């Protein structure tokens, strides 16, 4: 499976998740990834669960399709070998702070003397033309700084972080888009270039789509925050025997749900026919929905609402996904055999190409397993 990026070579100096997740996607798209690790290896190798040291689950899950080469960039021999890799590369990715990168010779001006067509991508915490440029940044810090953590408070709880590495993975997705665009530019002009991908600005952009809200207008037409998403009643709803997710989105959905619950009075409310009126009473609607759904079992509601084309699903655990019939039919999970870690479960790329099928051809590498 060559993939659309077959023939593209990436030198990957990134660690943990912001960067490695992006370069794994590039590997799944067909690129050759040389993961350059320091003598101690990527710090993400350490957290378990693991069958052997340095091969933790999270590392295995965002480093498939790569070779690992250990180089000490503080030593002359390591820098010389690194320059050889850069000379033959199309792309270089790192997520160091820029001062640290410059000390190791990773500044764009020097790299371009080695390879004028090189595309470099620096994943930084904060944009380098602002006062936060030298601050350390990790996922939790960016979630807090961007306003993400506070959205939980506004939805009726306490400020908290998302239970996923949201900022790192969001930045990684921006990275893959930016690199693809830079490759397109180089194909037309022959020019390499430097990409700066700040995590803070990426997350603010990501959240501003809906949550800038009234602040979009000058002067403001209201506060920030998308009311429907911040409603304290927007959640998976308790049923008689578990929980269910139901999202009536238009007037016909709401009327169908209320009629299925025997509430013809609510179904006939004139306000349901107006998008603006529904938005204004969304808290009330969600509260009514919760009242209706609590009266029957999850399976009963699914069988009742699905034929009405009302968006709904059971609330899955991660464990449930392994037996999900849709994921089974699409072949999303695949069993692989790792040369040192034995049998593993992996996910296939969610994107499909009709002409250039893609997928990670090899599992994540043991430390220093690449070509000499």
- Rounded to 5 degrees, φ, ψ at 9 are -115, 130
Quick one: 147 and 98 in the same domain? yes
CATH number at residue 284: 3.30.1540.10
Q: Is 336 exposed, middle or buried (0-12, 13-18, 19+ CB in 10 A)?
A: middle
Is 231 inside any structural domain? no
How large is the average pLDDT for residues 44-49? 96
Is 215 inside any structural domain? no
Question: Are the C-beta atoms of residues 293 and 244 closer than 8 Å to each other?
Answer: yes
Quick one: 243 and 339 in the same domain? no
How large is the average pLDDT for residues 79-94? 97
Quick one: 125 and 247 in the same domain? no
How large is the average pLDDT for residues 216-245? 95
pLDDT at position 44 is 97
Identify the band that residue 369 occupies on the pLDDT scale cut at 50, 70 and 90: confident
The continuous run of DSSP H or E covering 99 comes out as helix 98-103
d(CA 267, CA 298): 21
Ramachandran category for residue 190: left, alpha or beta (phi over 0 → left; psi -120 to 50 → alpha): left
Quick one: 197 and 247 in the same domain? no
Is 60 inside any structural domain? yes
Of the listed ranges 1-5, 109-113, 258-262, the least confidently predicted one is: 1-5
Q: Domain containing 242: what range? A: 237-314
Quick one: 109 and 185 in the same domain? yes
Identify the band that residue 359 occupies on the pLDDT scale cut at 50, 70 and 90: confident
Helix pair 139-146, 199-211: axis angle to 10 deg: 40
Tokens 């960067």 correspond to what residue?
19
Nearest to 154 by CA among 230, 227, 65, 208: 230
DSSP-derived 3-state class of residue 45? helix
List of long-range contacts for 81-87, beta carbons under 8 Å, 24+ apart = 82/11, 82/36, 83/114, 85/11, 85/34, 85/36, 86/11, 86/111, 86/114, 86/115, 86/118, 87/114, 87/115
Quick one: 310 and 339 in the same domain? no
pLDDT digits (tens, 9 = 90+) for 268-323: 999 999 999 999 999 999 999 999 999 999 999 999 999 999 999 999 999 999 99
pLDDT at position 212 is 98
Quick one: 102 and 188 in the same domain? yes
Question: Are the C-beta atoms of residues 197 and 14 closer than 8 Å to each other?
Answer: no
Quick one: 306 and 198 in the same domain? no
Is 13 inside any structural domain? yes
Q: Domain total for the chain?
A: 2
Is 362 inside any structural domain? no
d(CA 253, CA 266): 12
Average pLDDT, the chain: 96
Q: How far is CA 179 from CA 8, 19, 329, in A?
A: 11, 12, 32
Q: Which residues contact 122 (CB under 8 A, 6 or more apart)?
A: 94, 95, 96, 98, 101, 194, 195, 196, 197
To the nearest whole percent, how much of the chain has pLDDT over 90? 96
How large is the average pLDDT for residues 334-347? 95
pLDDT at position 372 is 47
Quick one: 17 and 132 in the same domain? yes
Is 56 inside any structural domain? yes
pLDDT at position 154 is 95
Is 213 inside any structural domain? no
Question: Are the C-beta atoms of residues 204 and 147 closer than 8 Å to each other?
Answer: yes
To the nearest whole percent, how much of the chain has pLDDT over 70? 99
Is residue 309 part of the annotated active site? The answer reads no
Is 48 inside any structural domain? yes
Identify the band that residue 2 occupies on the pLDDT scale cut at 50, 70 and 90: confident
- Give me the catalytic one of 12, 90, 168, 337: 168
Checking if the pLDDT of 1 tops 70, the result is no
Quick one: 189 and 252 in the same domain? no
Token output for 247: 């999202």
DSSP labels, 269-306:
-GGGG-HHHHHHTHHHHHHHHHHHHTTS-HHHHHHHHG
d(CA 97, CA 134): 7
pLDDT digits (tens, 9 = 90+) for 121-178: 999 999 999 999 999 999 999 999 999 999 999 999 999 999 999 999 999 999 999 9
Quick one: 49 and 197 in the same domain? yes
CATH number at residue 73: 3.40.50.10540
Question: What are 346's strand-pairing partners?
Answer: 334
Checking if the pLDDT of 227 tops 60, the result is yes
Quick one: 130 and 187 in the same domain? yes
pLDDT at position 283 is 92
d(CA 350, CA 358): 10
């Amino acid at each position: 499976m060559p993939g659309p990026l077959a023939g593209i070579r990436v030198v990957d100096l990134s660690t943990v998740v912001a960067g490695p997740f992006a370069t794994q996607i590039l590997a799944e798209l067909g690129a050759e990834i040389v993961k350059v690790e320091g003598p101690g290896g990527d710090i993400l190798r350490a957290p378990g669960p693991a069958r052997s040291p340095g091969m933790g689950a999270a590392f295995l899950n965002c480093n498939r399709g790569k070779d690992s080469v250990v180089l000490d960039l503080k030593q002359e021999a390591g820098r010389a070998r690194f320059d050889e890799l850069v000379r033959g590369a199309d792309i270089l990715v790192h997520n160091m702070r820029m001062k640290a990168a410059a000390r190791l010779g990773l500044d764009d001006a020097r790299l371009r003397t080695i390879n004028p067509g090189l595309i470099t991508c620096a994943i930084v915490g904060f944009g380098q033309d602002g006062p936060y440029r030298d601050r350390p940044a990790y996922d939790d810090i960016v979630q807090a700084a961007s306003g993400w953590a506070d959205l939980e408070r506004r939805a009726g709880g306490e400020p908290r972080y998302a239970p996923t590495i949201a900022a790192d993975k969001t930045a990684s997705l921006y990275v893959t888009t930016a690199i693809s665009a830079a490759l397109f530019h180089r194909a037309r002009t022959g020019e390499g270039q430097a990409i700066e991908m700040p995590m803070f600005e990426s997350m603010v952009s990501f959240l501003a789509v809906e949550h800038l809200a009234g602040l979009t207008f000058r002067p403001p037409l209201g506060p920030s925050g998308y009311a429907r998403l911040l409603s304290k009643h927007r959640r998976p709803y308790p049923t008689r025997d578990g929980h269910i997710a139901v999202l009536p989105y238009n007037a016909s959905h709401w009327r169908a749900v209320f009629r299925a619950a025997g509430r013809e009075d609510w179904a006939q409310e004139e306000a349901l026919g107006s998008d603006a009126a529904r938005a204004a009473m969304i808290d009330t609607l969600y509260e009514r929905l919760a009242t209706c759904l609590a009266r029957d079992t999850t399976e009963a509601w699914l069988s009742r609402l699905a034929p009405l084309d009302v968006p709904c699903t059971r609330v899955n655990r991660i464990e449930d996904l392994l037996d999900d019939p849709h994921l089974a039919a699409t072949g999303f999970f695949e069993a692989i055999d790792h040369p040192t870690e034995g049998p593993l479960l992996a996910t296939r790329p969610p994107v499909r190409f009709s002409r250039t099928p893609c997928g990670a051809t090899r599992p994540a590498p043991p430390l220093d397993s690449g070509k000499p």
